[in-house]
């Protein structure tokens, strides 16, 4: 989540490009804790990383033997991700970087893991519809992982300047919104999880994430 409070009608591509161009690195470069915890138990296969940003999750998956497609709206973020991957000697054939607006992009093919971590946006973004589409390419026996903020970090800007704190769905509420056929899917994890975190300016905090992992039968 960006620690800015822009006009929600701002063009999404322009917003994220400006954000990534403000500093050399926006995120830590480490894989998200929930992804590491769940995907570390899976045999490597094909993975789709939605909103991959600077590539921390995609690179970690590739290092574990996955073949990854990382998708993000920002060309700057993707160029940085490719550079980070090269610096970590990740096999270039293991990651495909795709620049696309997730509100319009449609996945093709099948994936053993589809990951959507922190798809929150301070500008217009149809998150519920994007997550519903994210379930479509999950292969039989594959998983969809959705991780979001259970509460926003204090550096996100949502509590500053008179901005109201937006409502954040629980893992169960996210699952309900996916409208998945019960006979085709099972819930593996649906819970809040806490983790230590460091903000963009060095702020330390304990954050709570909403973690949903579902498996296609």
Measured CA to CA, the distance from residue 172 to residue 101 in angstroms comes to: 26
| Mean pLDDT value across the chain | 89
Q: With respect to residue 107, please indicate whether it lies within any of the assigned structural domains.
A: yes
Mean pLDDT of 133-143: 98
Whether residue 1 lies inside any domain: the answer is: no
- CA within 13 Å, CB half, 111: 23
Distance CA 198, CA 44 (A): 29
The pLDDT of residue 210 is 96
Provide the CATH number for the domain around residue 44.
3.40.50.150
Residue 164 clears pLDDT 60, i.e. is over it: no
77 contacts 51 by C-beta, under 8 angstroms: no
Count of domains observed in the chain? 1
pLDDT in tens, 34-48: 999 999 999 999 999
User: Is residue 104 situated within a structural domain?
Assistant: yes
CB 37 within 8 A of CB 108: no
Residue 16 has pLDDT above 50, yes or no: yes
Instruction: Judge whether 5 lies within some domain.
Output: no
What pLDDT was estimated at residue 139?
98
In a domain? residue 4? no
Average pLDDT, integer, range 49-71: 97
Domain-located, residue 86: yes
- 206 sits in the region (left: phi over 0; alpha: psi -120 to 50; else beta) called beta
More confident residue, 174 or 25: 174
Rg (CA), the chain: 16
pLDDT at 166 over 70: no
pLDDT tens, position by position, 144-163: 999 999 987 766 555 443 34
| DSSP category for residue 32 | P
Residue 48 falls inside a structural domain: yes
Q: Which domain holds residue 200?
A: 12-19+29-216
What's the residue count for the chain? 217
Residue 101 domain flag: yes
Q: Quick one: which of 20, 11, 17 has its CA closest to 200? A: 20
């Amino acid at each position: 989540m960006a620690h800015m409070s822009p006009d929600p009608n701002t063009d999404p591509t322009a917003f994220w490009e400006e954000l990534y161009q403000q500093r050399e690195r926006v995120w830590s470069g480490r894989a998200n804790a929930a992804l590491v915890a769940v995907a570390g138990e899976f045999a490597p296969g094909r993975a789709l990383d939605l909103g991959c940003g600077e590539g921390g999750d995609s690179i970690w998956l590739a290092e574990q033997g996955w073949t990854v497609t990382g998708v993000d709206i920002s060309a700057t973020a993707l160029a940085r991700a490719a550079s980070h991957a090269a610096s970590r000697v990740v096999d270039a054939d293991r990651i495909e970087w795709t620049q696309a607006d997730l509100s319009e992009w449609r996945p093709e093919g099948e994936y053993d893991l589809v990951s959507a971590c922190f798809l929150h946006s301070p500008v217009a973004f149809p998150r519920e519809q994007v997550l519903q589409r994210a379930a479509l390419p999950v292969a039989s026996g594959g998983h969809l992982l959705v991780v979001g903020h259970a509460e926003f970090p204090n550096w996100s800007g949502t509590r500053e300047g008179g901005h109201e704190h937006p409502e954040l769905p629980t893992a169960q509420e996210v699952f309900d919104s996916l409208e998945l056929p019960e006979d085709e899917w099972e819930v593996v994890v649906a819970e809040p999880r806490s983790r230590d975190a460091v903000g963009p300016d060095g702020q330390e905090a304990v954050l709570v994430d909403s973690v949903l992992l579902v498996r296609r039968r």
